[in-house]
Amino acid sequence: MQEQGAHQLLCAKLGLTEADKLDLTSWKVNLADRWDSLTDPVKITLIGKYTNLSDAYLSVIKSLQHACMEARVKLELEWVEAASLEPESKESDLTVYNASWRKLVEADGILVPGGFGSRGVEGKILAANYARIHKKPYLGICLGMQIAVIEFVRNVLGMTEANSTEFAPATPHPAVVFMPEISTTHEGGTMRLGARRTVLQTMSCISAKLYQQDQYIDERHRHRYEVNPDLVPKLEEAGMHFVGRDETGERMEILELVDQPTDHPYYVAAQFHPEFKSHPGKPSPLFLGFILAASKRLDRYLRSRDFPRSATQT
């Protein structure tokens, strides 16, 4: 009776007649009831710098929820301030440092979202390193992709002073650089924004299978820096493959670790923001893959999918 009364009140407010009344059955069955029925937990640790304001990551949180509903798992989201993973935090607040690392160790999956500025960057690099070395499912978004590249250049290619020119303009090993067409003197309205095409380089990568595409995908962007194209051959030779590139082939869009010798369950990062196109009932493919890997269901899911069809993404 209470639900019926609320429904009638909503219809009245919207000025709907008896014939126009909203049918919420599908919403209730496919969204509300499904969300309430989830019991199998998956613990995701988000490494950010705005963790005191969760709305800063609202699109990311919603995308995780969409993916969890599709994967039939219950989201347990842990927050870690990136700077609290850094050695300086150990000196200033050992309790917070230990608690932050415990959340990382106990995570089923580690997510590094986008962001700006240098604060917490070294903590994010440490998180990406932990995920890579300990084979924890990792999803990097925008800065999270750049972080993964910096970590790999430092610890696999041996360029220990590698960095982004955003954070260390004089770094001797620029792993991430300012995009040549972007103004260095004006910030307003100068980012690479909006929908851009990503051309898939191989049909055998995880991303192609998740998107069910064999040619290209279109996703939204918001960044000024990019992977240094001069380092790409060395990175790919060492096992970090850029399975998605822009239409020129010069700008890196999606990275994955190759199956051998790493045999990593899911180490995927994208320069674009996949969370911007996620919806209930149609989760972002990269978020869905991340959640499935974190809940140890990805292999079964991929085996159940048909071979990627021709690119007809809407």
Give residue-wise pLDDT tens across range 12-70: 766 666 555 667 776 666 676 666 777 789 999 999 887 676 778 899 999 999 999 99
Ranking 39-53, 95-109, 131-145 by mean pLDDT, the lowest is: 39-53
Q: For residue 47, report the phi and psi dihedrals to the nearest 5 degrees.
A: -100, 105
- Tell me what pLDDT residue 210 has: 93
312 pLDDT exceeds 60? no
pLDDT band at 196 (very low <50, low <70, confident <90, very high): confident
CA distance 114 to 195: 17
Q: How far apart are CA 236 and CA 33, in angstroms?
A: 45
Separation between Cα atoms, residue 149 and residue 242, nearest integer Å: 11
Residue 238 confidence class, pLDDT cut points 50, 70, 90: very high
Nearest alpha carbon to residue 41 among 77, 81, 5 = 77
How far is the CA of 234 from the CAs of 52, 109, 175, 226, in angstroms? 38, 27, 11, 16
Helix, strand, coil % (nearest 5) of the chain? Answer: 40, 25, 35
Instruction: Give the Cα-Cα-Cα angle 148, 245, 129 (nearest 5 degrees).
Output: 10
Active-site residue 273, yes or no?
Answer: yes
| Residues forming beta bridges with residue 76, ordered by sequence position | 43
Which pairs from 185-192 meet CB under 8 Å and 24+ separation? 190/224, 191/221, 191/222, 191/223, 191/224, 192/221, 192/222, 192/223, 192/224
Is residue 101 over pLDDT 90? yes
Active-site hit among 70, 142, 151, 205: 142
User: Which member of 86, 219, 256, 275 is catalytic?
Assistant: 275
Is the pLDDT at 76 greater than 90? The verdict is yes
For residue 59, give the nearest of 257, 278, 285 by alpha carbon.
278
pLDDT given for residue 270 in this prediction:
94
Tell me what the mean pLDDT of segment 91-120 comes to.
Answer: 92
Given a cut of 90, whether residue 266 has pLDDT beyond it is yes
Contact 28/36 with Cβ under 8 angstroms?
Answer: no
| pLDDT value for 3 | 57
Q: CB within 8 A of 277, min separation 6: which ones?
A: 219, 220, 284
Average pLDDT, the chain: 85
3-state secondary structure of 18: coil
Q: Is 142 a catalytic residue?
A: yes
Whether residue 189 has pLDDT greater than 60: no
Confidence of residue 183 (pLDDT cuts 50, 70, 90): very low
Cβ burial 146-176 (10 Å sphere, 16+ → b, else e): bbbbbbbbbbebebeebbbebbbeebebbbb
Tell me if 214 sits within 8 A of 199, measured CB to CB.
Answer: no
Q: Average pLDDT for residues 67-95, to the nearest whole number?
A: 94
